[in-house]
Structure 1
Amino acid sequence: MIPWEEIDRAKIPGQKGEVILLKRDSEFSIRTAGTELMNSRVHGSEDALAELTCRRIKQKSGLRILIGGLGMGFTLAATLEQSKPDTHIIVSELIPAVVKWNREHLGHLARMPLNDSRVSVKEKDVAKIIKTKKSAWDAIILDVDNGPEGLTRKANDRLYTRSGLKTSFFALCPGGILAVWSSKTDEAFTRRLTQCGFTTEAITVRARKSGKGSHHTIWLAKKP
């Protein structure tokens, strides 16, 4: 078997841990503390996150979409594929190295989505962007950490508390969608979304486009 080659590693802002970019033949992996966060061969649920969200808002023009977490660019690419030419997408990525990796090593995997003129990148905490304005977004798509139960950065958990969800609620336009990716289901999180005023769906998807692989959960929470 071809061994993994380390391409780069970087500190996680505000934490002691690191993220590591690895390559094996044409396959890429991003890991932390021995745990794989994402793999270039497994992105079906990331694609579904964007597709399910855009399906619910694409009848509008001039959409404003905020994506929390760049990853390997698959969620962004799927959002672009579903969006009109007048859509504006902001991607918030806390770890500058992840943006750098997408530009230098990973971009071809998702058809170079950062080169699209509809995209702006902010190297900052998505929670801070969400707090900035009310009724600003038609969709907020969160592919941050491991979902409601943070893995790489405990500060991410505040996105998923009742207070954090209320902030997202007010940041959305009426009819807007808060979409959240998670590696597993969480009934308590579903209840929190409902308690914060959202009309909520929890959808189970597979990790691979082929319908195989692990089960992941996507919440689609609509602001009435």
Structure 2
Amino acid sequence: MSTSYPIPYDADHTAPVVLDRREGPFGEVVLRRHGALLQIIANGCFLMDTSDGRSERLLVDAALDALDDRPAPGILIGGLGVGFSLTHAAANSRWGRIAVVEREPAIVDWHCEGPLSELSRSALADPRTEIVEADLVSYIQESTEMHDALCLDIDNGPDWTVTEGNDSLYSPVGLAACRARLAPGGVLAVWSAQPSANFEGTLRNAGFRSVRTEEIPVVRGVPDVVHLGVRPA
């Protein structure tokens, strides 16, 4: 999940503690602890924290539910983040190979040897798991590997991208590349910070069927959603 907005107000007056600060290939990334939460800040913008992983878990579960009953389907997760999607996939014995593409070396380090290993240690130790350090957009375009499910969570979604270049992933060309990386009957699942009726049409025009959107219920505000489409068999 990549929701870029000002760093949250410190309501309980507990000062956040910076655990690590790195200059990465796409700017500064910071890991900090705020009370019980771990937070990732990129270029001064709050990206994600460990407070609520419901939408990331839905991303993985909805993709699996949309698959047929093929044995040990392989999943590619776009974006490691705080590890919610990875740990949820690894907790399900039905998944086969679990590949995660992450472009920030610092985030990978924080999971492998740093504070985020509190969440992902067992998932990373799972023999099905592989971490690929790469830019997801380039990886999708250049890779020849096939997957049964693509679960993409690298920005705010098709209508509200923050990182330059990520919008190409949601374009007809980007979706064609995603479709090419899916096995017949495979599922594309895209996390978004808001629903997008236009994106459903773009998915259909890109050759996906059974297109639908699942929402995460919220008390107020716009719900996070997962857009889904299936490559025809």
Provide TM-score, normalisation by structure 1. Answer: 0.88
Shift of 1:147: 1.9
Shift of 1:142: 0.3
Deviations 1:92-148 (A, max 9, x none): 0000100111121112225532121100111001233323226x1100110112222
Does the alignment pair 1:102 with 2:111? Answer: yes
| 5+ long unaligned stretches in structure 1 | none
Check the 8 A contact 1:69/1:143 in 2, yes or no: yes
Deviations 1:45-80 (A, max 9, x none): 111111111122272113221111000111011112
Match of residue 135 from structure 2: 125
Check the 8 A contact 1:58/1:82 in 2, yes or no: no
Does the alignment pair 1:7 with 2:19? Answer: yes
Change (3 A) 1:58 1:8: farther
Q: Distance in 1 between matches of 2:223 and 2:127?
A: 33
What percentage of residue pairs aligned between the two structures are identical? 33
Check the 8 A contact 1:54/1:83 in 2, yes or no: no
Residue identity opposite 1:138 in structure 2: D
Alignment of 1:83-102 (within 5 A): 83-84=93-94, 87-102=96-111
2:229 to 215, 218, 221: 221
Structure 1 segments, 4+ long, off by >3 Å, are 211-214
Match of residue 199 from structure 2: 189
Shift of 1:213: 7.8
Deviations 1:166-207 (A, max 9, x none): 111111111100110011122222211111011211111147
Query: What is the number of residues matched between the two proteins?
Result: 216
Provide TM-score, normalisation by structure 2. Answer: 0.85
Does the alignment pair 1:42 with 2:58? Answer: no
Root mean square deviation, CA, Å: 2.1
Alignment of 1:5-154 (within 5 A): 5-13=17-25, 15=26, 17-57=27-67, 59-84=69-94, 87-103=96-112, 104-110=114-120, 112-131=122-141, 132-133=143-144, 136-148=146-158, 149-151=160-162, 153-154=163-164
Q: Distance in 2 between matches of 1:212 and 1:110?
A: 30
SS in 1 for 2:106: helix
Check the 8 A contact 1:45/1:206 in 2, yes or no: no
| 5+ long unaligned stretches in structure 2 | 1-12
